[in-house]
């Protein structure tokens, strides 16, 4: 049982990293990763939303959507939108600096595919409540890891001698490609267990 949970955690965090392997949450990944501190905080906000979403989704699945599966998508998106709204209000109140730093990317957590993706994966794989929480934790940590790695590379890249034509999105994508390549290495963990 414990090993199973650990496996879900590692799998969501490294082997099937949401950003670098499953391509979820790329807008934030490419948009907010110019500074490590900001990336880390956005990662934390995402982690929090992911865990709360996973909890609400497992309640929804259990009590409401059993009888009306066709409402799944609509119900998920409404729950996520209201959660993000609440997180936004909380951050605005608690830390106005962070609120300004994250800017448009905070409300955009709603349209961050990672959150809805998590809800859908969790439903498709029929995770229990505890498994869902562990899955969300792993996914969130993986997201934070990817954001932080990317931000640290980009901070260094600012001082590198890159041809003007390659600066911007193209370079970021190619760096992301190399990171993703590195993460493919974790696929080897899969066969062991």
Q: Which of 61, 112, 131, 133: binder of another protein (CB under 8 A)?
A: 112
24 contacts another protein (rule: CB under 8 A)? yes
3-state helix, strand, coil in the chain (%, to 5): 80, 0, 20
Tell me the closest approach of the beta carbon of residue 129 to another protein, in angstroms: 21
57 contacts another protein (rule: CB under 8 A)? no
**Segment contacting another protein by CB under 8 A, of 4-12, 40-48, 88-96, 169-177:** 169-177
**Segment contacting another protein by CB under 8 A, of 3-11, 48-56, 129-137, 158-166:** 158-166
Q: Which of 5, 7, 10, 23: binder of another protein (CB under 8 A)?
A: 23
90 contacts another protein (rule: CB under 8 A)? no
**3-class DSSP assignment, residue 174:** helix
Identify the CA nearest to 35 among candidates 147, 151, 139. Answer: 151
81 contacts another protein (rule: CB under 8 A)? yes
Cβ atoms of 20 and 139 within 8 Å: the answer is: no
Cβ atoms of 139 and 118 within 8 Å: the answer is: yes
**Segment contacting another protein by CB under 8 A, of 55-63, 88-96, 153-161, 177-185:** 177-185
Identify the CA nearest to 24 among candidates 145, 117, 125, 110. Answer: 117
Residue 169's alpha-carbon distances to 34, 38, 55, 71, in angstroms, are 12, 19, 35, 37
Q: Which of 5, 30, 44, 65: binder of another protein (CB under 8 A)?
A: 30
Cβ atoms of 57 and 131 within 8 Å: the answer is: no
Q: Which is nearer to another protein, 100 or 167 (CB)?
A: 167
């Amino acid at each position: 049982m414990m090993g199973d949970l650990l496996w879900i955690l590692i799998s969501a965090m490294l082997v099937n990293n949401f950003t670098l392997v499953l391509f979820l949450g790329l807008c934030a990944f490419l948009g907010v990763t110019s500074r490590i501190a900001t990336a880390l905080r956005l990662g934390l906000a995402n982690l929090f939303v992911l865990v709360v979403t996973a909890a609400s989704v497992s309640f929804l699945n259990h009590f409401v959507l059993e009888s009306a599966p066709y409402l799944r998508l609509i119900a998920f998106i409404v729950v996520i939108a209201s959660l993000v709204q609440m997180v936004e209000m909380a951050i605005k109140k608690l830390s106005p600096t962070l609120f300004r730093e994250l800017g448009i990317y905070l409300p955009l957590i709603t349209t961050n595919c990672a959150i809805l993706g998590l809800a859908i994966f969790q439903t498709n794989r029929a995770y229990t409540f505890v498994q869902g929480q562990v899955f969300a934790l792993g996914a969130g940590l993986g997201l934070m890891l990817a954001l932080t790695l990317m931000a640290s590379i980009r901070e260094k890249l600012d001082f590198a001698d890159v041809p003007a034509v390659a600066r911007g999105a193209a370079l970021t994508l190619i760096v992301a490609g190399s990171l993703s390549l590195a993460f493919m290495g974790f696929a080897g963990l899969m066969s062991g267990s």
